[in-house]
Homo-oligomer: A and B are copies of this chain.
C-alpha cells in the first residue's frame, strides 16, 4: 500500500513518496526507481523487503557457494554484485537444483541406477519440483523480472476439474463446481435454519441475524424459503443437465443436487478449500516453457562462476577460510578442492548430514535432525489434449483419493492441437513411498491406471511418461525439509546461525519450506548476516 508519509524520516522534510520516487527516477534512471519502488511498497508486508542492498566494500573477500539451486545462485549473484569473489560447486550438469523441468530427450538417472529417457514432444515438459509462483512470493517474482524470465498464469482452481473417490458415487468423479455449490448450499441452508429457529440468539445479535440470513441466501443460492433445491438458481452454480441456449431450442434443464448425506460422506468437499490457502490463492504464475527457465536464466547470468558435475565430499573450515573437496559426480576421479574466505552451503540437509564438515554441535545436530518429505511426480504425455477437447478442463487440478492424489492439467498452450503432457501424479507421504518403491515404468503404468478412473480416455490416448520419486533423487534424497513445531523450536535457529565461516541457506533454512521463495529469502537473510560479519570483522 502506498503512504504519502515521508519514507526518508528524520530531516528530510515534507516529501511525498511519489516526489521521492520522481527524484530518484530523474537522478538515477528507471532501474533504481524500480528497486526503490519495490522495496517501499513491500516493506512490512512480506518477508521480502525488496532488492537486497549490501553496502560497504568487502575488500576482495571470497565466498564459496555449495549448490547452484535458487538459494546458491541468489547468494552468488548478490554477493558478486556487492564486490565479493564468488564460485559455486554444483553436483548436476545444469543450474537450478529442484528448479527443474524435464523435456523430450533429457535423461535422468535415479538412485539405484534406473535411467529414464524422456519421450515428450518438443515444447512439452514436466516440472518434477516446484511448479507454482504465488503472487505474493515477491523474491522469486523479483528475480524472474530481473532475469527476463517470462511468466504466465498458473491455474489452481478449475470448476470443470474433477473430484474422485473410490469410496463414493461408485468411483465416478464429480466436477468441482457441483461439489462446491452443493457444499456451500447445504452449509448455508443449515445455518439459515439454525438462525431462523432462534438457535443462534445467544451468539449473534438480532441485526446481524438478519444480515446473516440474507448472506446465506445469496452465497448459498438458497430459494426464498432458504432451501437449497434443484432448480435454475442452484444450476447456475452447480451446472445444468443442459445449458440455456438460443432461439426456440433454449430451455435449460436444471440438475439435481447431490444429497447432503452422500456429499458429506464422500469426503470430496475436502478439495474445496484447496484454493483457499495463502500459497494457492489466485493469482499464481509459472515461467513460460517450464519452471526450469528460472534456473537456466540464473545459470546463464552466472556464467563462469559455476563448476558443474562437482560432488562435494568434505567441507573443512579453519580460522582463515573454508575448503570444499569434491569429485566429478559422474566419473569420480581424483578429488579437487575449492577454497574461499567464507562459505554459503545450500546442500540439502539430507545430503549434507552425510558429508564430513567441521561445524559445532548445534548446527550439526540441526542438520542431522531434519527429516525430508517424500514426494513424487509423474508426467504423462497423451496423443491429444482430451481434457480440453472432451471435458473443457483448461488448466487446474483434479483430486482423487487414489495414490496419485491429483492430476494437474497444463496451464499453457490452451486449445492447441497435438500432444499434451499432464501431471499424472503428485503426492506426499505414504503414497510417495509406495511410488518410490516401484520402478519408474511401474510408477507410470500405475498412474495411467489411477487416472483412467477420472478420464477413461487415458487408456487409448496414453503415449509415454516419466516419474521422479524425490527420495531417489541422488542430490536431494527427499523433496523438502519437514519441520515439526518441536523440531523448529529445538533446531531451527542453530541451523541458520553462522558457524565460524559457514552459513547454511535453502528452503530448509526458511519458514516457507518446499517453496522457492523460502530458498531465496533464506539466502538473502544468510548473506545479509554474512556481509555484516565481513564488514565488522
List A residues at the B interface (Cβ < 8 Å).
1-2, 4, 18, 30, 37-38, 41, 44-48, 135-136, 138, 141, 144-145, 151, 153, 155, 157-160, 177, 180-181, 183-184, 187-188, 190-191, 193-194, 197, 199-200, 203-205, 207-208, 211-212, 215-216, 218-219, 221, 235-237, 239-252, 260-261, 264-265, 267, 269-270, 272-273, 276-278, 281-283, 285, 386, 389-392, 394-396, 411, 414-415, 417, 456-457, 460, 493, 496-497, 505, 509-512, 518-526, 529
Contact = CB atoms under 8 A, between A and B. Distances in A.
Given A211-B264, A456-B4, A511-B252, A247 B181 contact: no
Contacts of A457: 2
Instruction: Please list the 4 inter-chain residue pairs (A to B) with the smallest Cβ-Cβ separation, ordered nearest first.
Output: A47-B245, A247-B525, A246-B521, A246-B522
Contacts of A203: 190, 193
A193 to B, nearest CB: 6
B390 A41 contact: yes
A362 to B, nearest CB: 13
A83 B120 CA distance: 43
Nearest to A503: B247
Given A38-B389, A236-B277, A277-B236, A264 B208 contact: yes
Contacts of A411: 153
Contacts of A260: 204, 208
How many copies of this chain does one complex carry?
2
Nearest to A264: B211
B510 A245 contact: yes
Contact of A392 (B37, B135, B395, B512): B135
B153 A395 contact: yes
A120 B502 CA distance: 54
Contacts of A252: 47, 511
Given A155-B153, A194-B199, A219-B273, A394 B135 contact: yes
Contact of A505 (B216, B239, B247, B509): B247
Contacts of A525: 245-250
Nearest to A249: B525
17 contacts: A2-B457, A41-B390, A47-B244, A159-B281, A180-B276, A194-B200, A211-B267, A221-B276, A244-B510, A244-B511, A244-B512, A246-B510, A247-B505, A247-B509, A248-B525, A252-B511, A283-B394
Nearest to A137: B243
Contacts of A394: 135, 153, 283, 285
Nearest to A394: B283
A204, A205, A278, A521: most-surrounded residue (chain B CB, <10 A)? A278
Contact of A523 (B44, B48, B239, B246): B246
A281 B505 CA distance: 40
Given A46-B242, A181-B276, A205-B261, 10 more contacts: A37-B389, A44-B242, A47-B246, A145-B415, A155-B283, A193-B203, A204-B260, A246-B505, A246-B522, A283-B394
A285 B414 contact: yes
Given A135-B394, A155-B153, A207 B265 contact: yes
A392 B252 CA distance: 40
A520 B250 CA distance: 12
A47 B243 contact: yes
B211 A265 contact: yes
B160 A245 contact: no
A216 B194 CA distance: 15
A48 B243 CA distance: 8
Contact of A250 (B44, B392, B521): B521
Nearest to A19: B460
Contact of A247 (B135, B386, B522): B522
Contacts of A46: 242-243, 245
A41 B184 contact: no
Given A277-B237, A283-B394, A248 B200 contact: no
Contact of A190 (B194, B265, B493): B194
A314 to B, nearest CB: 25
A344 to B, nearest CB: 11
A249 B47 contact: yes
A339 B245 CA distance: 30
Contacts of A48: 243, 245
A267 B218 CA distance: 12
B208 A261 contact: yes
A364 B187 CA distance: 47
Contacts of A415: 141, 144-145, 151
Contacts of A283: 155, 158-160, 394-396
A324 to B, nearest CB: 21
A477 to B, nearest CB: 22
A529 B219 contact: no
A108 to B, nearest CB: 29
Nearest to A3: B456
Given A190-B200, A250-B525, A184 B276 contact: yes
Contact of A2 (B265, B414, B456): B456
